[in-house]
């Protein structure tokens, strides 16, 4: 991860370059956020007392896996003769690749870009991020950026007159995300055990962002 909301916002920036094909843009936005759902594997391992090493920013950030993933969608689409499933697969492939590259550039950590064939690619090897940021502010900021992603979707929906029936619900979820941000902004600095409630809130919020993207696909797929 960079923050999931940043990935979401970056994905929306390419929509003007994207050909208008059903579910393609939806796939790109989902694909930009999906790789950090490897947090589920980390959460499972943590709660079961297993080793969490090698679970985050590995298989889900590997272009080998991403290519295989897109290929499976392509085959299903060809088999069922449903082109939009193929569009979705291409979109997911593009989006997940964008995610892995953005992590490489701005996340101050390595990414196993060629997992399982090659170790970590790390542009930040010699750099130590400031203590107030590392595993502290950056964590709380997850919720801030998801809130900003929701605000962006809301403003686009108002402009394009799409998903009008969902905007009230979206506003409530935006407030939930701002509240999580404020709560964790305190917790990360005062309580070493913050990461268990953080993990729960994070997985919930990332799933929420994926769900809302699907719910608002009309807005996401508007080509301005």
Task: Report yes or no: 26 and 216 within 8 Å, Cβ to Cβ.
Answer: no
Other CB atoms within a 10 A radius of the CB of residue 218 amount to 14
Question: Smallest distance, Å, CB 36 to Zn ion?
Answer: 5
Other CB atoms within a 10 A radius of the CB of residue 109 amount to 17
Which residue, among 116, 18, 10, has the nearest Cα to 61 in the 3D structure? 116
Site residues for Zn ion, 97-136, by CB under 5 A, read 103
Which of 36, 112, 142, 221 is the binder for Zn ion (CB under 5 A)?
36
Question: Smallest distance, Å, CB 152 to Zn ion?
Answer: 20
Which residues face 111 on adjacent strands? 121
DSSP conformation class of 18 = S
10 scored as a contact of Zn ion (CB under 5 A):
no
Question: Smallest distance, Å, CB 189 to Zn ion?
Answer: 24
Compare residues 8 and 86 and give the one whose CB is closer to Zn ion.
8
Which residue of the chain is nearest Zn ion when measured via CB?
A: 1
Give 131-134 contacts, CB < 8 A, sequence gap 24+. Answer: 134/108
Which of 1, 4, 140, 147 is the binder for Zn ion (CB under 5 A)?
1
142 scored as a contact of Zn ion (CB under 5 A):
no
88 scored as a contact of Zn ion (CB under 5 A):
no
Query: Under the rule (CB under 5 A), what is the footprint of Zn ion?
Result: 1, 35-36, 103
């Amino acid at each position: 991860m960079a923050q999931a909301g940043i990935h979401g916002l970056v994905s929306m920036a390419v929509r003007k370059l994207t050909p208008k094909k059903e579910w393609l843009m939806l796939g790109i936005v989902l694909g930009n956020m999906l790789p950090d759902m490897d947090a589920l594997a980390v959460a499972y391992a943590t709660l079961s007392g297993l080793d969490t090493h090698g679970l985050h920013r590995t298989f889900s950030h590997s272009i080998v896996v991403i290519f295989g993933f897109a290929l499976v969608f392509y085959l299903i689409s060809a088999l069922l003769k449903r082109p939009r499933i193929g569009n979705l697969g291409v979109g997911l492939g593009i989006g997940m690749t964008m995610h892995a590259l953005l992590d490489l550039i701005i996340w101050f950590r390595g990414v196993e870009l060629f997992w399982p064939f090659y170790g970590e690619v790390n542009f930040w090897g010699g750099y130590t991020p400031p203590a107030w940021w590392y595993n502290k502010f950056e964590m709380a900021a997850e919720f801030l950026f998801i809130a900003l992603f929701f605000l962006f979707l809301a403003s686009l929906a108002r402009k394009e007159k799409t998903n009008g029936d969902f905007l009230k619900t979206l506003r409530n979820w935006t407030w939930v995300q701002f509240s999580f941000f404020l709560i964790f902004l305190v917790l990360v600095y005062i309580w070493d055990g913050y990461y268990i409630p953080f993990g729960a809130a994070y997985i919930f919020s990332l799933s929420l962002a994926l769900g809302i993207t699907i719910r608002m696909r009309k807005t996401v797929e508007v080509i301005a």
